[in-house]
Amino acid sequence: MLSISRRKAVDLAVKFGQRAIIYGETSQPAELIETLFTKGNCEIIRHRKTAFLCSRKIPASIVLKCYDWAIAQREAGNCVISGFHSTIEKDVLHYLLKGKQPLIIVFARGLKNRLEPEFINPLEQGRLLIISPFEQKIKRVSKETAAKRNKMMIELADKVTFGHISPGGSLEKLSRAVKKEVNFIL
């Protein structure tokens, strides 16, 4: 007999990219629980992935280096997973969308009914996967949903690149807990 809570079972499913699990407790009916909501090519989750995270406040000296990093990832055909939420992350996405490599966007909210126009062609080409661990009824990004999204991205990624980490910010704490290859854009 396994003894695992519903919350722990869901967290493990999200960690390993499972879209749903069947969960049950003794003397209770089993239930199907969706754990990952997706749009696009789900096979992309199997690629080797680099998570990209960057603080909202970034020194000007790092901005161009982040752009160069994005172009290098694009040209090498590397799959990047990110929330693409901060301004610099959105800029990085702009450069990545010009390529042909697979990409994963992770929302810190539920999936949107209408997607940005720049996502349509990559979705149709089968090189974009949009995922969220949140039901569609979650409409706004919060500090909590962003933290959960960032943790999930790192769990799904093979390695992590930080564009910049603001001292004392949430990414600084998160970066210390990463137990896989970590790179910093300097």
**pLDDT tens, 39-51?**
999 899 999 999 9
Average pLDDT, the chain: 92
Greater pLDDT, 143 or 29: 143
CA distance 25 to 4: 9
CA distances from 112 to 8, 116, 119 (A): 26, 9, 12
User: E strands along 76-180, which residues?
Assistant: 79-82, 103-106, 128-132, 159-162
DSSP sequence for 163-183: S---TTSHHHHHHHH--SEEE
For residue 145, how many other CB atoms are within 10 A of its CB?
A: 19
Band the pLDDT of 166: cuts 50, 70, 90. very high
**Which pLDDT value is given to residue 143?**
94
Cβ pair 88, 163 in contact under 8 A: yes
CA 131 to chain centre: 7
- Beta-bridged to residue 80, according to DSSP, are 50, 103
Band the pLDDT of 162: cuts 50, 70, 90. very high
| pLDDT above 60 (res 1) | no
Q: Going from the N-terminus, what domains does the chain have, and what CATH number goes with each?
A: 1-35 (no CATH), 37-184 (3.40.50.450)
CA distance 68 to 180: 23
Task: Give the pLDDT confidence of 57-101 residue by residue, as tens digits.
Answer: 999 999 999 999 999 999 999 999 999 999 999 999 999 999 999
Cβ pair 184, 58 in contact under 8 A: no
